[in-house]
Structures are given as structure tokens and as C-alpha cells.
Structure 1
Amino acid sequence: MKFQIPLAPGAVTQFLLRVVTCLAVLSFLSEMTVYFLPGSPSDNYLVKVFSVDSERNIPTAYSVLALLFSSLLLGTIAYAKNLDSSPYKNHWKILSFIFLYISIDEAGQLHENLINPMRSLLNATTGFLYFTWIVPFGFLVAIFLISYSKFMLHLPAPTKKLFVAACALYIGGALGMELVGGYQASTVGEDNIVYQIIVTLEESLEMVGIVVFIHGLISYIKTYLGGVSWNIYIPEKNPQFTDGRNIGLAAISEPANTRVSR
């Protein structure tokens, strides 16, 4: 028995936006319990589980999975581009590996290991550069944007707009709001409502940016590479065993009449 579940851009985007909205609201509400319910016997359990500023919890798991999904979609496009020897096939491959690394970094918060060394190097103990990991990462982002400028110009207009919007949202959250948060943390501290609002906005922008990027990727695959879907195979024999299911991406074929430079 075979089931085919097509990945529709609109449906996937709506689902992910609902998840992001729920996570942002739950995170903010959990943080507010610290200030308005200081005697709560849960010992900040809600914060540990739902706060976007905490590690190894539900928002972190979602972000890691969303980034991994982006990497998978990019890898799928790279595979299709490799088949027709596209001049930009390596750009897609590198993007796939970049998002794979970002997902690993999100899971382990690896970038935070740079804070203390960079803080000592730059003597940045206060101000916008309080979270000093943004300095080397900002430099890497600048190099990436410059090196991928030609790639972006050759994308179809709808895809280009979505990628630019996703990039602006994600970088605006990850670096822009981190600057604001660093100033607030260094001057007032992190244990205040304003800082929690900044952090919630920062993480929300990042998550929405990834949703927009995923929408752009699935739309690109659907429009220019023939679409993509999940195939679920269930063996006909021994139906009582359910662990024999295989899930994979359907083959992608580019329409013969497509002549878009990518």
C-alpha cells in the first residue's frame, strides 16, 4: 500500500506559522510567571520547557527540526541541479551544509562559546557588543551575502523576494535584536521584562524567517522542479508489523518547458 503526501507551500507555511505563534506566546507567558507568580512551586518549570531563551526545550527542538528541514529541501534541490549540471549546483549544496551546521549550532548553542574569548579580545563588557559572538558571525554573514549576490540575482523573481525577506527576518532577529538585547543585558541586566520582550521578538523573527525560507524552497521546487511529496510505503504482507514503513522524497523532475536561469 502506498500513500503520497504532497508538500503544498501554503499548507506547510500555515502550519509552521501556527506553531511559531504558539511557541512565542507560551514562551512569553512562561517568562511572565517569574515576575507575577514568584512563589510558584514549579520552580520555573514552565520557563525551562517553553522559554525561547532556554536551551534543550520545546522551542529549541522546533528550531532544530525546522533548520534540518530547510537543509533537506536545499539538498533535494542540489540533487536535482546536479543531474542537469546547473552552474549554481554547488551554491545549493553549500547552502544545504550551512543550514545543517546552523541546526547543530542551535541544538548545542555552539556560538555562545565565542562570547568570553571575543569579549576579552575586544574588551567589550558593555554596550551593543555585549554578546560578542555577533562580531565573527556578522563578518561571516557579510562574506556570505557578497559571495551569493550573483546567485540571488539569477533566481526567479518570486523566489528571490522570499529569500530576501527570509534573510532580512532571520538576520534581523539573530544579529539585529541580539545587539539590542546585548545593550539591555549589559546596562540593566537580563532579569527584567524588557529583556524578555527583546529575546522573544528576536527568536520569533528567526523562526518566522525560517518559515518564509521554507515557503520559498517548497514553492521553488513546486514551480520549477516539478513538485515534491512524501511517499509512505506499507508492506501488504504481515500488516500487523508497522515498523516496516519507509518514508522518502518522491523523484523530482524538471518540466521540459522551463527555461528560467537559476
Structure 2
Amino acid sequence: MFPIEPKKILIGFICADFFILALYLLFANHPLLGERVDLGQEGNLPTWYSSFKFTLAAIAALHCYFQGKQTPYNRGWLLVTGLMLLMSIDETGQFHETATRWLMESSGGNNLRDYFLVSKEGGALLWTLIFSPIILLVGGALSVFYYLQFRAHPHLFVAGLVLVGLFALAAGLETMQAKILGAENYLDASSWSQFKIFSTLEEMAELLGATLLLWIHYSFAWLKNNTSPE
């Protein structure tokens, strides 16, 4: 069921992450390929690749459920599977950004933009602040669940903390991008260059975080498969 060792999975997807980065750096200004490999664009190769990883993470989480004992804690893997599928769908559909744009059209959204000195163009990048209560609730619950599951495999829990840090870094960088778009001189060369750097770092943090997420689930399923009695 799991013929590939987890270490090879991790190395392979990290190499793929940096291959995506290399494509972007090489072809960012290409008239035909530029948008297809742009890390900051939606509906292109990096987006579909990231969605694919979340789908694989969902499949691995489902394997963890079927291979575990039928306890209340083990049923949490079904919730994790659903969460990974939602993240996969949202990665391609960008529903969180659509919802944020809609909220930003309200008076409350205008007040939020004014408070953070963010322009209308950068309003959608504030989704991490708008949905922060939900993000913190889900992230906290997921961390507790991982701790309960990975107590016998602390390296997996440490990897989980690292991926939380990567996603938090990505959220912070996205907020900084919104601040840049709110500046009066955001169209000058220096500000735009800074925006692109933050955007690239943010997307790479998300790609590497998704890779760790997939690896954690796959590793746990692989360990359970190899320690299960024949």
C-alpha cells in the first residue's frame, strides 16, 4: 500500500517545490509562460500543484483513519480528511479571497482597510486577519489532535510545528503585501520589487508547508501500515 519510503516522498516534493520556483524565476517575463508559472497568480501550474498536494494529504489522512483503532481520537482523521479536501478545493477556487473581496465592499471592510492603511487593491490580502478566529480555532484543534496522534513519533509533531510556522509566515507576508499596496508610492520600482519578493517568499512558504503536511500524513500512515499485524 505504501511502497515509497516517507523520506523519498519528502525529498521528491521539496525538489518539486523548488522546481516550481525555478520555472517562475526563469519564465516570469515570458509572454506565454509567465502567467502559467507565476507563483502569485491563480488558476495556473503552482496553484494546481498545491491543490494536488492537499488532495494527497487528504488521501493519506483517510488511510490513517482506516488503519487506526476505532477510537474517538482516531475519528478525527475523518475531519482532517475533510479539511484537506476543503483546502484543496479552495486552493483552486480561491473562495476565501472571493469572500474577502465581498466583505471589503461593506462599510466594515472600508473601516478595516482604513485602519490598516490598505488600498482597495490590497483588501483581499487581508483575509488572514478577517478569518483569523476561524484559522486560530482550526489550527489549535489540529495541533492538539496531532499531539495526541504523534506522541509516539515526536519528529512528526515537530514537523507539524514547523509547518504551522511556515503557514504563519505566509500569512504575515501576505499582510505585508497588503500594506505595500496601501502605500501611495506602491507603483514605484522599489515598492513593486519588495512586493514581488514578499509574494514569492509567501508562496514558497505555503508550498513547503503543504509538502510537510503531506509528508506528516503519509509518514504516519506508512508507520501504521508497517507496524500493523499481518
Higher strand share: 1
Q: Shift of residue 5 of structure 1?
A: 6.6
Could you say what secondary structure the match of 1:89 adopts? coil
Map 1:102-251; keep pairs closer than 5 Å: 102-119=87-104, 120=106, 121-123=108-110, 124=113, 126-127=117-118, 130=123, 131-154=125-148, 155-156=150-151, 157-173=154-170, 175-187=171-183, 188-189=186-187, 192-223=192-223, 225-227=224-226
In the other structure, the counterpart of 1:254 is: 228
Contact 2:90 2:96 in 1 (8 A): yes
> TM-score by structure 1 length?
0.73
The alignment covers a number of residue pairs equal to 214
**Bigger Rg over Cα:** 1
Contact 1:171 1:206 in 2 (8 A): no
Give the stretch that moved more between structures: 48-57 or 97-106.
48-57
Could you say what secondary structure the match of 2:228 adopts? coil
Give the whole-Å Cα distance in 2 for the aligned partners of 1:133 and 1:97. Answer: 21
| RMSD, aligned CA | 2.4
Contact 1:73 1:217 in 2 (8 A): yes
Q: Shift of residue 46 of structure 1?
A: 2.4
Structure 1 residue ranges, 4+ long, deviating more than 4 angstroms after superposition: none
Give the whole-Å Cα distance in 1 for the aligned partners of 2:12 and 2:84. Answer: 21
Q: Shift of residue 6 of structure 1?
A: 0.6
Residue 66 of structure 1 pairs with residue 53 of structure 2: yes
Unaligned segments of structure 2, at least 5 residues = none
Give the whole-Å Cα distance in 2 for the aligned partners of 1:110 and 1:189. Answer: 27
User: Using a 3 Å threshold, how does the CA distance of structure 1 residues 190 and 181 change in structure 2: closer, same or farther?
Assistant: farther
Contact 1:118 1:133 in 2 (8 A): no
Q: Shift of residue 17 of structure 1?
A: 0.8
Could you say what secondary structure the match of 1:20 adopts? helix
Give the whole-Å Cα distance in 2 for the aligned partners of 1:206 and 1:196. Answer: 15
Identity of aligned residues (%): 19
User: Using a 3 Å threshold, how does the CA distance of structure 1 residues 88 and 5 change in structure 2: closer, same or farther?
Assistant: closer
In the other structure, the counterpart of 1:86 is: 71
Give the stretch that moved more between structures: 196-205 or 22-31.
22-31
> TM-score by structure 2 length?
0.83
Unaligned segments of structure 1, at least 5 residues = 34-41, 228-252, 257-262
Contact 1:28 1:196 in 2 (8 A): no
